[in-house]
Amino acid sequence: GAVVSQHPSRVICKSGTSVKIECRSLDFQATTMFWYRQFPKQSLMLMATSNEGSKATYEQGVEKDKFLINHASLTLSTLTVTSAHPEDSSFYICSARAPTGSGNTIYFGEGSWLTVV
Amino acid sequence: AQSVTQLGSHVSVSEGALVLLRCNYSSSVPPYLFWYVQYPNQGLQLLLKYTTGATLVKGINGFEAEFKKSETSFHLTKPSAHMSDAAEYFCAVSGGYNKLIFGAGTRLAVHP
């Protein structure tokens, strides 16, 4: 079945640095990917919708200059957390919409744990 | 606009007992409805989905859900709980295969 992969699964970075998380659709082309954030024991909150070849659409309250999203190809979207701070520590999950013929549903990656120290 | 309400943040059942996780939604467009399961420190796995057609949807691991438009509900059930079913379950709604709006989640505990 369709698979969405995230890398890295866990990352620790120092406060003030930037960190990049990759989301790949492994066996289908995804024109649209979604980035979510999940705090411990809470639900998933949509951060932004990533569209291949165009700017991402951010949800209200999400800082687009802090959470940079690039969807450079049909199989890869990246989330860069810039000037990270401890409050950015969270579980980040991406999802990708598979087209008709490849499941025609939304698949999620394994998630990436970010810890900012 | 869309929203999801999951009744009961924690549900505890005995092994072999019926599992019922409740989900109510609101949507201004015909909804697509999903149930996902999340095990500790992992991503989300799709259990089942409703888009159009048959309102009783069967998913993986013996789970099923019924779309009831009149009740705006999409409750998840399983006839007999297994210890391996213990996890966090999320109900989600979207207008088509677009961004998903998630409920707060229900943590299912299964005890011997």
Cα–Cα distance, A79 to A81 (Å, whole number): 6
Contact between A82 and A68 (Cβ < 8 Å): yes
Provide the pLDDT confidence category of residue B82 given band limits of 50, 70 and 90. very high
Confidence of residue B41 (pLDDT cuts 50, 70, 90): confident
Instruction: Indicate the residue of B44, B99, B105 with minimum beta-carbon distance to A108.
Output: B44
Local confidence pLDDT in tens for the 117 residues of chain A: 558 999 999 999 999 999 999 999 998 888 889 999 998 878 889 999 998 888 899 999 999 999 999 998 899 999 999 999 999 999 999 999 887 665 567 888 989 999 999
pLDDT at A53: 84
Q: What pLDDT score does B96 carry?
A: 66
Residue located via tokens 């009831």:
B68
pLDDT tens-digit readout, B15-37: 999 999 999 999 988 889 999 99
Say which DSSP state A82 is in.
-
What average pLDDT does range B84-104 have in this prediction? 88
Contact residues, chain B, for A62 at CB < 8 Å: none
Closest CA to A70 of A54, A87, A46, A84: A54
Give residue A100's pLDDT: 67
User: Which residues in chain B touch residue A108, judged by CB atoms under 8 angstroms apart?
Assistant: 36, 43-46
> Tokens at residue A8, please?
């890295």
pLDDT of residue B94: 87
Band of residue B81 on the pLDDT scale cut at 50, 70, 90: very high
B97: phi then psi, degrees, rounded to nearest 5: -85, 65
How far, rounded to the nearest angstrom, does the alpha carbon of residue B51 sit from its chain's CA centroid? 14
Of A6, A43, A110, the CB nearest to B103: A43
d(Cα B50, Cα B72) in Å, to the nearest integer?
A: 13
Inter-CA distances, A17 with A20, A30, A84, A85, A116, Å: 10, 29, 6, 8, 9
Q: What angle do CA A60, A62, A65 make, to 5 degrees?
A: 130
pLDDT given for residue A104 in this prediction:
62
Q: What is the pLDDT of residue B44?
A: 87
Q: What is the mean pLDDT of chain B?
A: 93
Distance in angstroms (rounded) separating the CA atoms of residues B97 and A40: 26
CA dihedral A32, A39, A42, B110 (to 10 degrees): 100
**Is the pLDDT score of B73 beyond 70?**
yes
Chain A residues with CB-CB distance to B44 below 8 A = 44, 93, 95, 108
Would you state the structure tokens that stand for residue A107, as one six-digit string?
A: 């698949």
Q: How many CB pairs under 8 A join A and B?
A: 50
Closest residue on chain B to A109 (Cα): B43
Q: Which residues contact B55 (CB under 8 A, 6 or more apart)?
A: B66, B67, B68, B69
Q: Say how far apart CA B110 and CA B34 lie, in whole Å.
A: 22
Averaged pLDDT for residues B101-108? 94
Distance CA B3, CA A1 (A): 29
Neighbour tally for A37: CB within 10 Å: 20
